[in-house]
Amino acid sequence: MATKKVAIACQGGGTHAAFTWGVLRTILTTKTRWDADPQGGETFDIVAVSGTSAGALCALATWYGLVPNTADPACGTVEKAIERLDFLWTTFAAANPVEAAHNQLVGTLLGWKSQGMPLPEANPYAACGKLALSSLAMMGARPQYLGFAELLRDLCPNFDAIDWPALAKADIRILAGAIEVLSGNFEVFDSDKTLEQMGLRPDGRAISQYDITRWRMRRAISLDGVAASGTLPEVLPAQVIPDMVFPTCTPGRTVTRNGFYWDGLYSRNPPVRDLLDGQTKDEKPDEIWIVRINPQEFQPASPNIGLEDIRDRENDLAGNLSLNQELDGIMTINHWIERYGDGHPPLDSRKIVAVRTIKMTRDTAWGLKHTSKFNRSPDYFASLREEGRTVTERWLADWRRLGADFPRYPYDARYPEPA
């Protein structure tokens, strides 16, 4: 049966991305089952994962497990990817009494603030914030709970032993989106860039990113880059990555300085357009599956919405703005190919790519709040993971059963009208 090449793009959305944990876990377990029965119907290969913020953490866990590693023979398997996803979310959760108390306190304060109670604004650069983190650590909060650096090092303990030559042959890609604060560049940390710098993959781009400033940059994948993707500026200081090269206003001239990075929500949520930058049709995926956390549509329970509801909706819209722009670009190319064919430039290296959406049920998506994106309760994570599992099991069954008739973006990003 046919095997589709699939790229999976994971939206950020704070701890709401525990839904993505369930989605990716189900995709991986389903692939294992389908691969064991080649005659059962159409199946898929995962050729790339991309993500922003918590979606980037999910993408990293999946990719690290799937790629070969010279220090860990268990890597390069679906089973390892599932194990790393489980490790990520169980480690990121509030796992001891100190962390549980802190999580409950944060939720209470955010709830009071959403009701209009005047509370002091948090400043991640203030001495009191650093003192609070030190106090939590002294009381027993784990380093993996308090910071991305420790969490990602434990998630990918043998990152430096990734077998890049074997990865070049396996051709499984990761992209993590972030924004560089000073330049305003939309940046992606890209495993293909790493392969290019190692001479293991050619860079077929005709334009050097340092010769023409387009406010987009590709960097080699790194744990710091993935941490940058999740650095929410209201909570954490900007992620500093030293010795980054930037173009200047003089063509051909660059400057090297520290890069200062914020959450990819402010750039691309998640990166999609780079998934299609292969030079030939065969290098491009057949389908892109979007794991959407921020609902595109929303209908409030009452027309008299409050300030917190407005902020919730602003957050949804900001999270979808760049994604929809990138997806509309893909839809435009698809339309041109359908209308004019792909026999002549510039469409001769393009192909129709199906974009599909995996999303929460309407009641769940519309019932979540911006404040709950900070909830790190294990039970809360488990409920969203379970939603991801049930939604994706049904989604994959329909994908295989309906084939070309299975709904596509933008129609599948919508919710049915409420009764």
DSSP 186-206: EEEEEHHHHHHHTTSS----S
Examine the pLDDT at 418 and tell me if it is beyond 90.
no
Average pLDDT, the chain: 91
Q: Report percent pLDDT > 70 for the chain.
A: 98
Total Cβ atoms within 10 A of residue 98: 18
Residues 281-288: what's their mean pLDDT?
94
Mean pLDDT within 97-120: 83
**309 contacts: CB under 8 Å, gap ≥ 6:** 300
* pLDDT of 71 over the 70 cut: yes
| Contacts with 14 (C-beta within 8 Å, 6 or more apart), sequence order | 53, 54, 232, 372, 373, 374
CA pair distance 338, 267, nearest whole angstrom: 30
What integer pLDDT is reported at residue 303 of this predicted model?
A: 66
Whether 181 shows a pLDDT value over 90: the answer reads yes
For residues 239-246, average pLDDT: 96
Selection from 32, 50, 48, 51 nearest residue 40 by Cα? 32
How many distinct helices (H) and strands (E) make up the chain?
13, 9
Mean pLDDT of 82-86: 98
More reliable by pLDDT, 120 or 24 = 24
Q: Which of 66-80, 106-120, 182-196, 353-367 shows the lowest per-residue confidence on average (mean pLDDT)?
A: 106-120
Model pLDDT, residue 162: 98
Q: What is the mean pLDDT of residues 82-106?
A: 95
- Tokens (6 digits) for 14: 């704070």
**Residue 358: pLDDT band with limits 50, 70, 90:** very high
- Residue 53: what residue type? S
Arithmetic mean of pLDDT, 193-216: 86
Confidence band, pLDDT 50/70/90 cuts, at residue 84: very high
**1 band by pLDDT with thresholds 50, 70 and 90:** low
Nearest to 57 by CA among 242, 223, 170: 223
Give me the sign of the Cα torsion angle 291, 27, 166, 156: positive
Q: In sequence order, which residues have a C-beta less than 8 Å from that of residue 367 and are 6 or more positions away? A: none
pLDDT at residue 156 above 70?
A: yes
pLDDT of residue 212: 74
C-alpha 355: how far from its chain's center? 16
- pLDDT value at residue 123: 77
Contact partners, residue 410, CB within 8 Å, separation at least 6: 327, 331
Q: Of the spans 47-56, 127-136, 267-276, 291-300, which averages the highest pLDDT?
A: 47-56
pLDDT at 419: 62
Q: Are strands 3-10 and 43-52 parallel, antiparallel or unpaired?
A: parallel
pLDDT of residue 307: 76
367 is written with which tokens? 């019932």
Distances (CA, A) of 225 to 7, 82, 160, 208: 20, 22, 14, 21
Q: Please name the amino acid found at residue 266.
A: Y
Continuous segment of H or E residues that includes residue 16: none
Task: Report yes or no: 224 and 259 within 8 Å, Cβ to Cβ.
Answer: no
The fraction of the chain above a pLDDT of 90, given in percent, is 63
- pLDDT digits 0-9 by tens, 377-397: 999 999 999 999 999 999 999
- Say which amino acid occupies 396: L
- Please compute the mean of the pLDDT values over residues 54-67 and round it to a whole number: 97
Residue 119: is its pLDDT beyond 90?
no
Average pLDDT score over residue span 200-218:
83
pLDDT over 70 (residue 135): yes
User: Which pLDDT score is estimated for 245?
Assistant: 94
What is the predicted pLDDT for the residue at 210?
82
Asked if pLDDT for residue 207 goes beyond 80, the answer is no
What value does the mean pLDDT take over residues 296-315? 77
